[in-house]
Amino acid sequence: MIEVRDLTKVYGSTRAVSGLTFDVKPGQVTGFLGHNGAGKSTTMRMILGLHTPTSGTALINGVRKRDLRDPMREVGAMLDATEVQGGRRAFDHLQALAHTGGIGRRRVVQVLEEVGLAGAARKRIAGFSHGMRQRLGIAAALLGDPGVLILDEPVNGLDPDGIRWLRTLLRSLAAGGRTVLLSSHLMTEMSLTADRLIIIGRGRLIEDTTMADLLARFQGDVLVRSPHAARLSRVLEAAGATVLRAQSATVPGTPSATVLRTQRTGSPTASGTATPSARPPADEGGWRVPATSTSSSATAQGEGEAPRASPFTTAVDKGKVPMSGSSAAALDEDSLSATDRSTTALNESEPPGTRSFTAALDEGELLVTGLSAAAIGDAALASGCAVHELAPRRVSLEEAFMEITQ
């Protein structure tokens, strides 16, 4: 277990870390998040006794790192995988570390196999790729089979297979009762790996919560389908909700979630400004969707283009259409209604690399912020408005992180 209490580090007139207090408990993976310069690496180094705190304490299993009786078997760390002697062979590097901790040769062979470097054991580190150096650093952290692991950006340089391998490894170690603390800038991967999050900004604690609780707190938008959308919109607005009518918006280079947020606020996006158009005429059948000039077919990639993944999704009818600013991931035609096919389409007239995506919600659909799906359902029932679907929008970790660290 890691216990941090009122931890502070001051360099001259700069307060790098200020009064941090948190616990990293065994049996779970704890993600350590913050923008560059937030104080993550400094905090990790103080936990490991590499930097002396100006004030406060950082304990591993109840004592300071320097007071551990068998440090290599109690805590393993990887802070910078490049800090190795390039002239050494991988096996020799690990053997030297193992010798200082009284760890046998057999364990060196085991960790090389575990991290996928058995075939490179006799190769010099200078010839290693960045990903191979990362694996070697992870192997060094695992040498003593420690109960506590501290890893700073361990996925850097790893290929997709390596990232999946590390995710599985860390989760299995946590499931076995170990304490795992890791930092990463890859939000999507962190959301798949971590059970708990510690988020800091400018050296101060912002959040100490579970992944599930954080994402649940930011489930802001609810997609509502109703044949009485106009009346329901007025009811929900009177209840204090913000209601976005169904409309189309095309913003090159901008994720769908940003487009929807911009439609509500009118704030500029990375590649332009999306301003809500005038409210179209409405009747009890719902808001009318403005016509678009896009093709009626939905194509995932241009000819010969490599697929590109996006963490952003917008709910459309019964399915979800992955969206990206420069391209669209593959659409499942079977899951799209006729309206979806006509209102959600890739602009084929634009050259590859600059294509935009037009997103339009079905007629009779609303995006509601400020009320839960249950509250919306109750309001609809009380006002006599039929509701065909209530679908809370899934918020990504990246969106939640940016929201709370602004």
Rounded to whole angstroms, how far apart are CA atoms 316 and 360? 9
CB 344 within 8 A of CB 333: no
Rounded to whole angstroms, how far apart are CA atoms 204 and 207? 9
Rounded to whole angstroms, how far apart are CA atoms 313 and 230? 26
pLDDT surpasses 60 at 39: yes
Which pLDDT does position 217 carry in this prediction? 84
Q: Across all residues in the chain, what is the average pLDDT? A: 80
CB 139 within 8 A of CB 117: yes
Which pLDDT does position 246 carry in this prediction? 61
Which pLDDT does position 286 carry in this prediction? 36
pLDDT surpasses 80 at 46: yes
CB 76 within 8 A of CB 142: yes
Rounded to whole angstroms, how far apart are CA atoms 382 and 367? 19
Please give the residue that has the higher pLDDT: either 311 or 205.
Answer: 205
Say what percent of the chain tops pLDDT 90: 64
Rounded to whole angstroms, how far apart are CA atoms 325 and 274? 14
**Cα dihedral 272, 276, 278, 284 sign:** positive
Which pLDDT does position 201 carry in this prediction? 96
| Residue 324 DSSP SS3 | coil
In this prediction, residue 406 has a pLDDT band, given cuts at 50, 70 and 90, of: confident
Which domains can be identified in the chain, with CATH numbers? 2-216 (3.40.50.300), 220-276+311-405 (no CATH)
Spatial CA neighbour of 139 closest among 163, 177, 112: 112
Rounded to whole angstroms, how far apart are CA atoms 115 and 193? 18
* pLDDT tens digit sequence for 113-133: 999 999 999 999 999 999 999
Distance of CA 370 to the CA centre of its chain: 23
